[in-house]
């Protein structure tokens, strides 16, 4: 009946919704009694329905009754259980009070904002008592509106007061809510590198089991208080004696701007785009200062949609790049003081290659390139401010390079068809994959240059990749991919079919959800497959893509493609990129120079952004210390030595004659 009443309320049938909600509330009072958890749930439902109907007085009465029951119960066990409902109750109370207020001045806004911060503190307490990372994500998702409305109030407070601390609050809330899952996954991948005894881990597990057991029983306050106190004491000792482990596993959901500000660069400008209640803002961060700029969101939507369709079009509309420049870049360009740019997009902006934005309305492809951001800035991307850390040491790996290039030639497909005894079970998608000769040639060349390993054709299987990819400076993956925008966790990389073992004959797809749980530690992962970086936005989870998964799995940076890109042009750009890396250039500048080198000799349609702009760098931009094979001089000396020997042999023969 609660769901039933909500349905009517959301569709504008207020009287019917109230009638059903009151019937459910009276039923609960009659059969369950007062001061129960069910009564609280029904009171909050009645409050929400009256709020939707703009009956603020009654809505306020109901939410006050619910909060009074929650706060009145001194039983620590039941109070702990009811605390899960309190944040949303506070949110509703805040909205009602704000709408009831005669003004929305700074004092009123600040009181409401502080009330919501109290709700966020309750979420922190809930998180501390959970170990399953999925449960933490559920807490954040369930209370998504608390984060979002707090963000709105913080932005409104900044506009009212011009106090920059509220801009930082906006970023705190956005990063904490949207990317909590990222931090959780990255933290888990780091547990193995922390020196902590098995005894402490066993104690941690037992204390949590005791606490969860006490919560489930709900019949012994003494048992709960004892378990809670022991757990709290354990966390206190853990934070003191093993701070790194504690911070990784039990760090607060909310992170302050000052906490991660130390990781920002002095020589790079960070541009963080954030949607707040359907309005888009750009935050420009330089040298510990933050400035905000409101973006023309209404105009952006139509232009961006046209531009993303434009990428696949044969008739490329050049004017859209200039229009996007005026909307997304021009508002703050005069305030940028660095040429190194880190962009942290939001939602659909992750699909945009900002290098293609141009300050001039171009009439030709050459004019677009001449005035594009590519000519002025070295641009890289990141998923979150929480992942930007200039003080983080680049991991050292002994081995330079490992490559995986199935190529998908006709011989591979013929061998696969022979191995499958019944044609009904053919993987028809696999048989239609286009060969990738340029990708294979590139990987062959640089596996030699970097003295690395290469697994090609049938040897580039999923199992071989899983067993050999980790702990290299560069992981090069040249293959096809399939992007699933409905269920992004089912996006996948395609490897070679294994024909040596019938049981794994078709196990050649590496899915996004599998990558999250693998160790793919590296300085750089190269994903030259089509659409490997194309993300899908999911509220509460941020951008999910194959590239994102590699970041989870330990790759410090990823070079990937945002859309289907021509194999030959991407191979040419990557060749320049590898040469630039071996010369010691930072990864972002190495990619920028590689694109400029490509464009210097490109002609006709190959100048179009379709051919070069889709390749983007996500993550750390530091140079890679590659031990390049420079033994060419040995070959030259050897050839000269052989020539000298041959010369003397012929000379001696001639003398004898």
The pLDDT of residue 540? 43
The pLDDT of residue 137? 65
Lowest mean pLDDT among 21-35, 66-80, 527-541, 564-578: 527-541
13 and 131 co-located in one domain: yes
Q: What is the DSSP letter of 144?
A: H
Residues sharing a CB contact under 8 Å with residue 261, sequence separation 6 or more, in sequence order = 288
| Domain end position, chosen among 353, 387, 421 | 387
Q: What is the DSSP letter of 543?
A: E
In angstroms, rounded to a whole number, what is the distance separating the alpha carbons of residues 595 and 503? 44
Q: Centre a 10 Å sphere on the Cβ of residue 591 and count the other Cβ atoms it contains.
A: 27
C-alpha closest to that of 304 among 367, 362, 356: 356
pLDDT by residue (tens digit) across 473-528?
A: 999 999 988 877 667 778 889 999 887 665 556 688 998 888 887 889 999 999 87
In this predicted model, which residue has the larger pLDDT, 141 or 573? 573
- Mean pLDDT, residues 94-123: 91
277 and 335 co-located in one domain: yes
- Name the phi and psi angles at 543, rounded to 5: -90, 125
Tokens of 383: 């998923």
38 and 173 co-located in one domain: yes
373 and 404 co-located in one domain: no
422 and 533 co-located in one domain: yes
9 and 98 co-located in one domain: yes
| Domain end position, chosen among 557, 586, 615 | 586
Residue 465 lies in a domain: yes
The pLDDT of residue 617? 95
By percentage, how much of the chain surpasses pLDDT 70?
Answer: 82
| Domain end position, chosen among 551, 586, 621 | 586
- The b/e string for 225-248 (b: 16+ C-beta within 10 A; e otherwise) is eebbeebeebbeebeeebeebbeb
Q: Centre a 10 Å sphere on the Cβ of residue 17 and count the other Cβ atoms it contains.
A: 25
CATH number of the domain that residue 160 is part of: 1.25.40.10
In angstroms, rounded to a whole number, what is the distance separating the alpha carbons of residues 77 and 382? 42
Residue 284 lies in a domain: yes
The pLDDT of residue 361? 94
Residue 209 lies in a domain: no
- Residue 198 buriedness (CB in 10 A; 0-12 / 13-18 / 19+): exposed
Residues sharing a CB contact under 8 Å with residue 607, sequence separation 6 or more, in sequence order = 365, 366, 369, 599
Residue 481 lies in a domain: yes
pLDDT by residue (tens digit) across 183-238?
A: 555 444 444 445 678 888 889 888 888 887 876 665 577 887 888 889 889 988 98
CATH number of the domain that residue 498 is part of: 3.40.50
In this predicted model, which residue has the larger pLDDT, 324 or 630? 324
pLDDT at 632 over 70: no
Lowest mean pLDDT among 66-75, 99-108, 404-413, 624-633: 624-633
The pLDDT of residue 223? 83
- How many domains are contained in the chain? 3
Torsion of CA 192, 195, 199, 202, to 10 degrees: -30
In angstroms, rounded to a whole number, what is the distance separating the alpha carbons of residues 438 and 549? 26
- Mean pLDDT, residues 334-342: 95
306 and 448 co-located in one domain: no
Residue 622 lies in a domain: no
pLDDT at 43 over 80: yes
pLDDT at 450 over 60: yes
The pLDDT of residue 600? 95
Mean residue pLDDT of the chain comes to 84
456 and 546 co-located in one domain: yes
The pLDDT of residue 256? 65
Q: What is the DSSP string of 471-506?
A: SEEEEEE--EEE--SSSGGG-EEE-BPP-S-GGGTT
- The b/e string for 115-133 (b: 16+ C-beta within 10 A; e otherwise) is bbbebbebbeebbebbeeb
In this predicted model, which residue has the larger pLDDT, 287 or 457? 457
pLDDT by residue (tens digit) across 595-618?
A: 999 999 999 889 999 999 999 999
In this predicted model, which residue has the larger pLDDT, 235 or 357? 357
168 and 268 co-located in one domain: no
Residue 555 sits at the vertex; the CA angle it makes with 549 and 558, to the nearest 5 degrees, is: 80
354 and 406 co-located in one domain: no
Strand (E) or helix (H) holding 275: strand 268-276
The predicted model scores a pTM of 0.82
Span between the terminal Cα atoms of the chain, in Å:
114
Residue 83 lies in a domain: yes
Residue 162 lies in a domain: yes
Residue 307 lies in a domain: yes
530 and 452 co-located in one domain: yes
The pLDDT of residue 24? 94
Q: pLDDT band for position 46 (50/70/90)?
A: very high
| Parent domain of 270 | 262-387
Residues sharing a CB contact under 8 Å with residue 5, sequence separation 6 or more, in sequence order = 17, 18, 20, 21, 24, 45, 49
In angstroms, rounded to a whole number, what is the distance separating the alpha carbons of residues 269 and 274? 16
15 and 69 co-located in one domain: yes
Q: Centre a 10 Å sphere on the Cβ of residue 604 and count the other Cβ atoms it contains.
A: 7
Tokens of 436: 């990738």
pLDDT by residue (tens digit) across 528-579?
A: 776 666 666 554 444 557 888 888 788 999 999 888 888 899 999 999 999 9
Lowest mean pLDDT among 54-68, 187-201, 433-447: 187-201
By percentage, how much of the chain surpasses pLDDT 90?
Answer: 46
Q: pLDDT band for position 310 (50/70/90)?
A: confident
pLDDT by residue (tens digit) across 225-281?
A: 888 889 889 988 988 888 767 765 666 656 666 665 656 778 899 999 999 988 999
């Amino acid at each position: 009946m609660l769901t039933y009443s909500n349905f009517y309320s959301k569709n504008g049938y207020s009287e019917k919704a109230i009638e059903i909600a009151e019937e459910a509330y009276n039923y609960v009072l009659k059969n369950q009694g007062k001061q129960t958890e069910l009564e609280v749930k029904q009171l909050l439902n009645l409050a929400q329905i009256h709020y939707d109907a703009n009956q603020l007085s009654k809505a306020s009465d109901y939410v006050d009754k619910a909060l009074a029951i929650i706060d009145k119960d001194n039983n620590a066990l039941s109070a702990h259980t009811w605390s899960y409902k309190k944040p949303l109750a506070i949110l509703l109370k805040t909205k009602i009070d704000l709408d009831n207020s005669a003004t929305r001045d700074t004092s009123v806004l600040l009181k409401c904002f502080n009330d919501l911060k109290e709700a966020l503190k309750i979420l922190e307490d809930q998180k501390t008592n959970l170990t399953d990372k999925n449960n933490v994500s559920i807490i954040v998702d369930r209370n998504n509106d608390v984060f979002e409305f707090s963000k709105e109030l913080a932005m409104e407070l900044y506009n009212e007061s011009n106090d920059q601390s509220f801009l930082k609050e906006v970023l705190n809330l956005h990063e904490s809510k949207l990317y909590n899952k990222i931090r959780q996954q990255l933290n888990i991948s780091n547990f193995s590198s922390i020196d902590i005894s098995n005894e402490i881990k066993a104690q941690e597990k037992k204390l949590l089991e005791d606490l969860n057991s006490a919560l489930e029983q709900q019949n012994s306050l003494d048992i709960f208080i004892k378990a809670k106190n022991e757990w709290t004491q354990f966390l206190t000792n853990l934070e003191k004696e093993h701070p790194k482990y504690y911070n990784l596993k039990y760090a607060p959901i909310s992170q302050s701007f000052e906490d991660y500000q130390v990781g920002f660069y002095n020589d790079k400008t960070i541009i963080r785009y954030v949607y707040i209640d359907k309005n888009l803002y750009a935050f420009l961060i330089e040298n510990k200062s933050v400035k905000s700029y409101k973006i023309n969101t209404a105009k952006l939507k139509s232009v961006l949609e046209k531009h993303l369709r434009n990428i696949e079009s044969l008739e490329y509309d050049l004017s859209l790049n200039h229009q996007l420049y005026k909307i997304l870049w021009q508002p703050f360009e005069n305030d940028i003081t660095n040429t190194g740019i880190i962009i942290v997009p939001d939602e659909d902006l992750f699909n945009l290659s900002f290098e293609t934005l141009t300050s001039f309305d171009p009439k030709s492809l050459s004019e677009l390139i001449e005035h594009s951001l590519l000519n002025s800035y070295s641009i890289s991307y990141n998923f979150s401010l929480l992942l930007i850390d200039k003080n983080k040491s680049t991991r050292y790996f002994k081995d330079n390079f490992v490559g995986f290039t199935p190529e998908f030639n006709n011989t591979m497909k013929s061998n696969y068809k022979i191995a499958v005894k019944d044609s009904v079970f053919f993987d028809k998608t696999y048989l239609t994959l286009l060969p990738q000769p340029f990708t294979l040639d590139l990987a062959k060349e640089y596996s030699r240059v970097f003295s690395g390993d290469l697994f090609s054709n049938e040897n580039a299987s999923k199992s071989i990749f899983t067993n050999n990819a980790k702990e290299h400076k560069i992981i090069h993956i040249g293959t096809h991919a399939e992007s699933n925008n409905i269920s992004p966790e089912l996006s996948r990389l395609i490897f070679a079919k294994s024909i040596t073992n019938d049981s794994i004959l078709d196990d050649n797809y590496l899915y996004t959800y599998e990558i999250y749980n693998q160790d793919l530690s590296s300085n750089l992962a190269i994903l030259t497959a089509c659409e490997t970086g194309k993300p899908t936005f999911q509220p509460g989870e941020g951008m999910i893509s194959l590239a994102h998964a590699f970041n989870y799995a330990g790759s410090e940076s990823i070079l990937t493609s945002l859309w289907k890109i021509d194999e030959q042009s991407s191979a040419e750009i990557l060749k320049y990129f590898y040469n630039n890396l071996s010369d010691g250039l930072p990864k972002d500048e190495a990619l920028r120079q590689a694109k400029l080198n490509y464009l210097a000799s490109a002609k006709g349609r190959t100048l179009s952004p379709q051919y070069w702009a889709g390749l983007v760098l996500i993550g750390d931009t530091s140079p890679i210390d590659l031990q390049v094979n420079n033994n060419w001089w040995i070959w030259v000396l050897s050839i000269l030595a052989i020539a000298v020997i041959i010369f003397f042999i012929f000379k001696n023969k001639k003398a004898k004659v």
